[in-house]
Amino acid sequence: MSEPAGHRQAVLRSTRPSRINSKFFRLIPGGKGMSEYQPFPMQRVIHASKALYRVACLGRQVGKSELASAEAAFELCTNANSEGWVVAPVHKQTKVIYLRTVEKVIAALEKPEFAHLKANVRRSDLEIEVEHYDRDWRASGAKKLGTAKFAGRSAAKLDNLVGATLTYLIIDEAAVVQQEAWEVALEPMLSTTQGWVLFISTPRGFNWFYEIYERGRSTAPEDVAWESFNAPSWDANPVVPRTYYQKKKLEKPDLEFRQEYGAEFVSNSGSVFQGIDGCPKMAVDADLSDYQRERLISLSYNPKHAYVVGADFGRLQDYTVYTVMDTTSRQMVASYRFDYVDWDRQLAELKRVSDEYGGALVVGDNNGVGDYIQLECAKLGIPFEGLKFTGTEVKTQTINHLAIGLEQGYLAIQDDPSLYKELRLYKYTRTESGQLKMAAEGRNHDDRVVSLALAYSKCEHVGQAEGLTPEETSMMKRLESDLDNLREIASRGDSNVLGIEVLGDYGAMDALSDLSALNRSLMN
């Protein structure tokens, strides 16, 4: 497990749950139906810290919400004059920790140890108050000692973060909360009480959360009140088997996996696609004679291979792009880009491309066009599979599949600077809820990216793909021409031409299926 960055004598919090929580934990429920809270080792370390400001940078699914709600429940049940908030980027996230806190408090108040406490819950307002008495609150003569308060607040608007003097604060997904919310609105609420703060989050690049995390690792005198903790998911949550994370590593692009599960600070300014320069490339013949239509061809149809066309249909100012992927060799063999607006021309071109590659299956983004494309393709005899690509889990899976393929060199892409640009400008951002989003930066286009991702979605990650240099492509085309001549000769019934025995169509097709290897043997 990753150790916290230096235990040291820091400014003490007004209460020290590390000396009491071992008993308190048994009085509150844990997550997933557990009768008592049993913190993981990293959670115990964070609970035990005496630092005024604790910064927990942890991977996903490690019990951050359980950690936070246990802290809040402890304050409500043991500190009669405490007042705390949980703040998260949006209301929905705030509600998670608030409701878990309420659940723990209500369960604790059923125990005889807390007969002197009385709760008042206002779920619609995300507020709970716990009245403290000197004896069982139902007993005659019970004297009220104070009221502990806890509330959930959204950081979506700074206006929501006013009107309280706090003794403690929990900021969930702190990396997504605006720095201004902390510095301008929240931090001043703790100034008169010297209240403690727990920042919990997965990282999001090198933003203000990274800066406070570094304060917790610093040995400078001015940072003595800070302590930071860091652990990847597989260390922080010992319950989940390692095989789960091994599977996730194969499913997620490297940057996303390292950030979300590895709890690493990595640059979010980088592209979703990290392996562009190193992946195999296919030389192209470009036809740019028609300003409305761009045609890039690397290899023509091989009857021994299977093909898929990825179709990203243009609308108004967007371009339409068709990408042809050889699923046998995992090579991007052709791409077509044009700005025709009317559907008839788009579909006519799609029919031509599909037919040119042996009636190739078309995988298309039909989001926003309903069943129209599917029906029209059926009329034209185009095999079509539609995906609702925009803003869905399907999109995430499809883009991740392509990103992994590029990183590992599982596919060869065309040597096209415009494609490289689109891939590099396809970047990660975060939504207000803290979820990762992938999209073209600014007003840049993503039609090449989407089309390629759709085409590659039908390829499996198996071994390294082979690219073709311009010299190899030229050799390949000469071989294709020679084989065409051989087919023609074979069709006339000749059995031997220039000393080369021709075994009918089978020999020619078999040779075509291994042209890439033949190229290399000839060039070496």
Residues serving a catalytic function are 173
C-alpha 312/C-alpha 340 separation (Å) is 13
Residue 151 β-bridge partners: 85, 127
Match 């207000």 to its residue by tokens: 432
Taking a C-beta distance cutoff of 8 angstroms, is the pair 349, 336 a contact? yes
One-letter amino acid for residue 316 of the chain: L
CA atoms in the 13 A half-sphere facing the CB of 415: 14
Give 339-343's long-range contacts (Cβ < 8 A, gap of 24+): 339/292, 339/314, 340/292, 340/314, 341/314, 341/316, 343/372, 343/376
Q: How far apart are CA 264 and CA 399, in angstroms?
A: 22
Amino acid at 184: V
Whole-angstrom distance, CA of residue 419 vs CA of residue 441: 14
Helix, coil or strand: residue 207: coil
Distance CA 521, CA 384 (A): 38
Helices (H), 292-416: 343-356, 372-380, 393-408
What is the Cα–Cα distance from 132 to 121, expressed in whole angstroms?
A: 15
